[in-house]
């Protein structure tokens, strides 16, 4: 089963990079410095920030369907992100080496399945979720913290 994983669009967040901390705070956003790797996975590049990188911590609506499953949560965006990650049948760095919760949604945004798996065996879990014809797309979340990492679509 071929799949595509996509990072969030850089252009959606680029305007935040020029704001000072006070202007960010007015929007509920915090600028922090990455202190460890792994630990600050960027949702644009889908790679962990390097220690010393400036990252933005903000709330992001990742499941916007008008259903009981509508959801938003905190995410990190690396201010040095240069492009949105996109890969077919490839797993980006921020999904490896972590427990991942996969949530499968129907075309109308209803949860139709879920599982927790190792990021190192994610391909098999993606294939299992997409073996259900009702699964239109998947959301990957860090299992421990619950934060959204990336959307996965059928290729």
Please determine, for residue 1, whether its predicted confidence score (pLDDT) is greater than 80: no
Rounded CA-CA distance 61/64 in Å is: 6
pLDDT digits (tens, 9 = 90+) for 127-143: 999 999 999 999 999 99
Please determine, for residue 19, whether its predicted confidence score (pLDDT) is greater than 90: yes
**SS3 at position 74:** strand
pTM of the model: 0.94
Please, what is the average pLDDT of the chain?
96
Distance of alpha carbon 7 from its chain centroid, rounded? 7
What does residue 103 show for φ and ψ, rounded to 5 degrees? Answer: -120, 125
């Amino acid at each position: 089963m071929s799949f595509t994983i996509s990072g969030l669009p850089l252009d959606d967040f680029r305007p935040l990079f020029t704001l000072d901390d006070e202007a960010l705070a007015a929007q509920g956003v915090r600028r922090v410095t990455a202190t460890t790797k792994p630990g600050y996975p960027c949702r644009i590049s889908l790679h962990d920030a390097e220690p010393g990188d400036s990252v933005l911590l903000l709330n992001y609506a990742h499941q916007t369907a008008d259903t009981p499953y509508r959801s938003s949560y905190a995410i990190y965006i690396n201010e040095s992100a240069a492009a949105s990650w996109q890969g077919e049948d490839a797993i980006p760095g921020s999904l490896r080496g972590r427990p991942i919760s996969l949530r499968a949604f129907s075309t109308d945004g209803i949860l139709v399945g879920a599982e927790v798996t190792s990021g190192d065996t994610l391909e098999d879990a993606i294939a299992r979720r997409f073996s259900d014809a009702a699964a239109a797309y998947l959301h990957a979340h860090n299992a421990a913290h619950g934060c959204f990492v990336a959307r996965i679509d059928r290729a």
